Structure 1
Amino acid sequence: MDTTQLLKGVLDVAVLAVVREEDGYGYDIVRRLRAAGIAEIGDASVYGTLRRLYAAGALSTYVVPSEGGPNRKYYAIKAEGIAMFEAQRETWNEFAAVFSTLINHQPAPAAATSSNGSHS
């Protein structure tokens, strides 16, 4: 199954979960998402999500000088981001439970039918 479309719907909560654990700069957040098992995540998708969450007031930023290159912009979760994460986590857990029940449901064996196709 191509998980690209599924990932689009949950990338915000995934990014918030990673930043909630520890502040990070863009590529660090991408690396941590991949280490968590989201291997097919694109850098551009994460950077776009970080910008969107920042604009929504869920994240703050600060700059840390880098020894071997340009300064790094770190993202930190704000109270609004924690509230957003909690709401999205609850929604995800409810959705996952319903969907898991639906796709893992084992139908009852079909009732025996008579030769004319009707049930006895």
Structure 2
Amino acid sequence: MWEAILEKFRDKPGQMKVATFLLRYGFSVDRNGTIRCVNVEIPHSKVSKALEVDRRVVVETAKTISSDPELLKVYSKIEPAGMSLRNIAKEMGMGLIIITADPTQVGIVAGATSIISKLGISI
């Protein structure tokens, strides 16, 4: 699917920027070209301001996605992955483990859970 996205926006760098932003932050696009974060409508003008692109680029990107069945199948189902506690764990009274490893290595999660288990920490 990523190849289809790259192909669709290959010659449109502004639209590629918008399409990538939508994926990265979990914003969906419905069949009417409305951008949403779960059930909250995100105005095209706010996306354009955040990305420093013309509002029309956002509108055209949403139209392109909503008119392409293959893209719409993906973009209409996008949901945010959830919040990151990285910046607020301390204030929330929580502990935080950040795992830095080569993502191409095998066994990263197994190694991390083994260490956590040996420390007697419940996940």
Q: Do these two structures clear the TM 0.5 threshold for a shared fold by scoring above it?
A: no
Q: TM-score range, shorter-chain basis?
A: 0.3 to 0.5
TM-score by length of 1: 0.32
Larger Rg: 1
Structure 2 length-normalised TM: 0.32
